[in-house]
Amino acid sequence: MWTVENRARYDRSKLRYPSDLTNEEWDLAKAEIPRAKRGGNKRTVDVREVMNGLMYVLSTGCQWRAIPKDLPPRSTVSHYFCRWQQDGTLDRLHHALYVLCREQADRAASPTAAIIDSQSVKSAEKGGVGSIRRASTAARRSKARSGTSLSIHRAC
């Protein structure tokens, strides 16, 4: 419900971009982001700014090359996106936020019931997740593919 307190809580007008993380959001996210590896040079990139760059791409749907100049270079943001996707950081972050949202809604951390529709049953009969990806990817292929999805697949 939009109360005076909630409006202030969700106000993003003071941020550089609406997709930038607030301090509260960053505190939640940084707990899931791995520390720099031991040895070698110190990390010179601001990981919060990398996360802001990633959130900008994901929220606007822009191409990697369209990341604003005041965010880290596209190669840096893309590199961290691929690394976090491969090492499971994004999955851990998603799970932590999912659990937090359910707890804030006074629900159990994990759902106790599921709804299965006929489409889910059909795809499970064909072999599960792997076949779903192959089937949906082949159907969407065209010569005029989306720049965002193409750039994300090429990046990793």
Using CB atoms within 10 A of its CB, is residue 140 exposed (0-12), middle (13-18) or buried (19+)? Answer: exposed
Q: What are the structure tokens assigned to 156, written together?
A: 């990793």
Percent above pLDDT 70 for the chain: 76
Question: How many CB atoms lie under 10 A from the CB of residue 80?
Answer: 19
Q: Write down how long the chain is.
A: 156
Q: What is the pLDDT of residue 132?
A: 46
Q: What is the pLDDT of residue 10?
A: 73
Domain ranges of the chain: 4-113, 117-156
Binned at pLDDT 50, 70 and 90, residue 92 comes out as very high
- In tens, the pLDDT along 125-153 reads 666 555 445 544 555 555 555 555 555 55
Q: Which residues contact 26 (CB under 8 A, 6 or more apart)?
A: 48, 51
Q: What is the pLDDT of residue 83?
A: 94
- Average pLDDT, integer, range 39-43: 85
Using CB atoms within 10 A of its CB, is residue 51 exposed (0-12), middle (13-18) or buried (19+)? Answer: buried
- CA-angle at 26, arms to 22 and 32, nearest 5°: 160
- In tens, the pLDDT along 1-35 reads 678 877 777 777 888 888 899 888 899 999 999 88
Q: Are 129 and 136 in contact (CB under 8 A)?
A: no
